[in-house]
Structure formats: structure tokens, C-alpha cells
Amino acid sequence: MCGPKGSIFCAGVSVFCATFVFVVGGLVQNMYPFAGYEILDYHAQETTVGQQAKDISRTCYLAGGAYFSFALVATISYFIQNKCRGHRRFS
């Protein structure tokens, strides 16, 4: 595992990525034209565009949840490492 600084960095990056993926999922779910739903229309063979957008947004939300769980693990790691080392702030 990395030190407290690395844990906070990982937590910050994970929160940023989760927020970004949630926003992209929301844009795709609402079929925002610049989020690429026209590409979905071009490749629509078996399913409808709405079903594809729903599946993609669901996958984005699952990825965002995974990023938030990584952020939680990194934050817990930060506090455990600070407690073991006796630090109260960034070291």
C-alpha cells in the first residue's frame, strides 16, 4: 500500500472519475446529442436506441459506484495509516 499522501491522491482521483462517469451516464441516459447517441443510432441493429442508451448509462453508473468504493477504501487507508504512524495531518 502507499502512504497517506498516496491514499489521499487515490481518493481524490477516484472521486473526480466517479463524478465524471456519473455525468456522462446522465447525459447518455437523457440522449444528449453531443454525448454520442447519434453513434448509437448508426449501430442499432437488434435493440432500439433508447435501450442501448439505458444499458450504457447503467454501466456508467456501475463504474461510478466502483470508483466511489475505491475512494472509500483509499480514505479508510489514509486514516488507518495516520493512526498507526501517530500523524494527525498530511505527512
8-47 pLDDT, tens per residue?
999 999 999 999 999 999 988 888 877 665 555 555 565 6
**What is residue 56's predicted lDDT score, i.e. its pLDDT?**
87
- Is the pLDDT score of 4 beyond 70? yes
37-87 pLDDT, tens per residue?
555 555 556 567 778 888 889 999 999 999 999 999 999 998 888 777 665
Q: What is the pTM of this model?
A: 0.75
Hey, what's the cell of 19?
Answer: 463524478
Please, what is the Cα angle at 60 between 55 and 61, to 5 degrees? 100
